Amino acid sequence: MTTTVRRKGEKQPYAYLMPFLGFFALLLIWDVLARFSGWSREVFPGPVVVLVSMGELLADGTLVRHTVASLFRVTVGFYLAAALGIPVGIALGMMKATRSLINPLIQFLRPISPLAWIPLAMLWFGIGDPPAIFLIFLSSFFPLVVSTTIAVDGINPTYFHVAANFNFSRTEIITRLVIPAIIPEVVTALRMTVTISWLVVVAAEMIAVQSGLGFLILDSRNALRMDYVMDGMIAIGLVGLTLDYLMRQLGDLESASWRKMTH
């Protein structure tokens, strides 16, 4: 909830220029640092060099191919995690009895970094997409289960009384009460987990996979092409920015924003 008097969607003139100003300042500082660091352009390339080599990578399709490979893994792993994690969270939230059985297990598994699973993932799934997808699944699944359970648990008990009063069936309780009530929290959780998945995919690709932006970075390092390493980093940042933007759009849907609504 904002305290400003300005109406929603109404911005100061030129406000849309502000983000670009930030990027411009970053480029400037980078350029100055690269010029005066005394390091060679092989060790610390400046923005011009990096942008030129990005042109090369775009022209021969390498960058696009690796970005698509990473995005594919994130998408599959993330959808799998959402498709399983949210229902499990709802079930746990509604069955108070089984919760005390499963909750400690989940809280035990949750702090184990997905990266710690890499050796097992490689052993079980070999090399390629499956181990990476498995790791992304793990990194999103537990946070989603936990956030969904907490969200269901936080639903005002009065609403369940109202549902019982209006003779809601079991299905109606889930579709017309629980799901709409938790959508705002679940969308927030999805936003956070998509960022985590994106972090994890890059790390996984450095070890278990022969494609993707993580692989591009590692491969370029082996070839001592720091400009390509930085291109990979820039691509990661841009995709992350886009994913977050898409998730925010999800949060602005009418069904997700009833909590924010006031006069």
Residues making contact with other proteins (CB under 8 A): 158-159, 161-162, 164-167, 176-177, 180-181, 183, 255, 258-259, 261-263
Provide the Cα torsion 34, 35, 37, 43; round to 10°.
50
Which lies closer to other proteins via its Cβ, residue 125 or residue 168?
Answer: 168
Which lies closer to other proteins via its Cβ, residue 107 or residue 255?
Answer: 255
Shortest distance in whole angstroms from residue 10 CB to other proteins: 19
Sequence-distant (6+) residues with CB within 8 A of 181 are: 151, 152, 155, 159
Shortest distance in whole angstroms from residue 63 CB to other proteins: 43
Contacts of range 219-227, beta carbons closer than 8 Å, 24 or more positions apart: 224/42, 225/53, 226/42, 226/43, 226/44, 226/45, 227/41, 227/45, 227/49, 227/50, 227/52, 227/53
Shortest distance in whole angstroms from residue 186 CB to other proteins: 13
Shortest distance in whole angstroms from residue 147 CB to other proteins: 18
Give the pair of three-digit tokens for residue 161. 């009384």
The C-alpha angle with vertex 21 and arms to 64 and 236, in degrees rounded to 5, equals 25
User: Where do the DSSP E strands lie in the chain?
Assistant: none
Shortest distance in whole angstroms from residue 263 CB to other proteins: 6
Which lies closer to other proteins via its Cβ, residue 83 or residue 162?
Answer: 162
Which lies closer to other proteins via its Cβ, residue 100 or residue 262?
Answer: 262
Which lies closer to other proteins via its Cβ, residue 183 or residue 206?
Answer: 183
Give the pair of three-digit tokens for residue 87. 């229902």
Rg (CA), the chain: 23
Shortest distance in whole angstroms from residue 150 CB to other proteins: 18
Shortest distance in whole angstroms from residue 88 CB to other proteins: 22
Distance CA 140, CA 150 (A): 16
Which lies closer to other proteins via its Cβ, residue 1 or residue 105?
Answer: 1
Q: Looking at this protein, which amino acid is placed at residue 232?
A: G
Using alpha carbons, select from 195, 213, 93 the residue that is nearest to residue 152.
93
Sequence-distant (6+) residues with CB within 8 A of 72 are: 129
Which lies closer to other proteins via its Cβ, residue 12 or residue 156?
Answer: 156
Shortest distance in whole angstroms from residue 163 CB to other proteins: 9
Which lies closer to other proteins via its Cβ, residue 173 or residue 196?
Answer: 173
Give the pair of three-digit tokens for residue 197. 């998945």
10 Å Cβ neighbour count for 243? 19
